[in-house]
Amino acid sequence: MTEQKSSNEMWGGRFASGPDAIMEEINASIGFDRKLYAQDIRGSLAHAAMLAKTGIIAADDHDKIAGGLNTILSEIESGKFAFSRKLEDIHMNIEARLAELIGPAAGRLHTARSRNDQVAVDFRLWVKDELGRMASALKALIEAFLERAEEHAATVMPGFTHLQTAQPVTFGHHCMAYVEMFGRDLSRVRDAIERLDESPLGAAALAGTGFGIDRHMTAKALGFREPTRNSIDSVSDRDYALEFLSLAAISATHLSRLAEEIVIWSTPQFNFIRLSDAFSTGSSIMPQKKNPDAAELVRAKTGRITGSLVGLLTVMKGLPLAYSKDMQEDKEAVFDAVETLELALAAMTGMVRDLTVNTASMKKAAGSGYSTATDLADWLVRELGMPFREAHHVTGRAVALAEARKCDLGKLSLEELQSIHPGITEAVFGFLTVDKSVRSRQSYGGTAPQEVRRQIRFWKKRIAKA
């Protein structure tokens, strides 16, 4: 007869004590939600003050609660607080310690409040704080780009489409493209703060409370614009977390595109820029190598942030109203995305300030690939009154002739150009250099140095007010 294994052996390993150990492991969130300790104490202090002012608890109990909470804050910040997994989360850990410190008065703190609205206000406060830090990091990156753009407003480089040389632009203009991208990211951060700036505290479990609380008072005390207007939505909403991950994923994508360009531009084949040793590493076997590891890691970390967004969208997609325990899975994704994006922004800001621009290589490359072909077509339209489609065709024939001669467009003779179209005159050669090309692009938002400098002035004023 086969010996039947005990239930504990069947669970095995770290869960040898049976179902209780598994439940504790899956249920506990203190391992990560301890990050919310400051916000949890802020929320409790505001709630206790409101309960006292409305007469729901006695002033003496409020004084004890406030004193105990401030003691706990000091204990946590000094590393003396003992967190317990058996108490599940940050809320219960703080509540249990408060009871140890002040006795029965601690039990009055949870009047007219549930862990559902407690965690909602804690998490909103935390995300709001982090969005403020993200705004500062984006401003620093934009300012770094503005410095480089001003320095290189007239530095010629090739502009690309399909990673093929298209038209000459300036490096300053290219930098300003990223100013626009990260400026929109900053705008999304501001918008996100505006939308989440409502306090769910006082919604209780889901239906509100029968106590005569003052939700406007607690909202103001916590720095929110106003309280939320629906108690069910208040405890089941995680839009603010999803919106943070969405804007983080967009910003990380912008960082990744920039990182890709840094990787490409720092190759010997391009030789447009050089990163210092501060943002590069060597090879373990090839002594000549200088690898742009910081940029590559920024590019890779985008996947983590995008994955966090998809993960939380998947958690929330099938949840009925109001609160479900699934929502405990909202925090780790956001915590990780915040740390990842913060590091990526800091690294990229450092790289933008650090990189050395090889202006000679950029200018040489700017003239490759018949990059002034569009300038020839524009000249034919402007000077000869030719329809653009016909000018496009004539220019194509000129490019084909230059390819056959293995020379640039500007190196074709006047006779060769007139063999394609007799109306072409000597004046055309003044428009076939990369410098003339970029100076001619004076349309609003164009690459002409004077226009680049105008956009720099605009953004300097705008970022100073942000």
CB 347 within 8 A of CB 258: no
The whole-angstrom separation of Cα 326 and Cα 342 is: 27
75: Cα separation from own chain's centroid = 33
The span from the first CA to the last CA of the chain, in angstroms, equals 78
Orientation of helix 293-316 relative to helix 239-265, angle to 10°: 160
How crowded is the C-beta side of 355, counted as CA atoms within 13 Å?
A: 31
Q: Which residues contact 287 (CB under 8 A, 6 or more apart)?
A: none
The candidate with the shortest Cα–Cα distance to 175, out of 455, 441, 389, 370, is 455
The whole-angstrom separation of Cα 121 and Cα 212 is: 19
162 is catalytic: yes
The whole-angstrom separation of Cα 438 and Cα 434 is: 6
173 is catalytic: no
Q: If you search the block for the tokens 């108490």, which residue do you land on? A: 87
Please identify which of the residues 78, 162, 284, 443 carries the catalytic annotation.
162
Please identify which of the residues 6, 136, 283, 324 carries the catalytic annotation.
283
Residues carrying an active site annotation = 162, 283
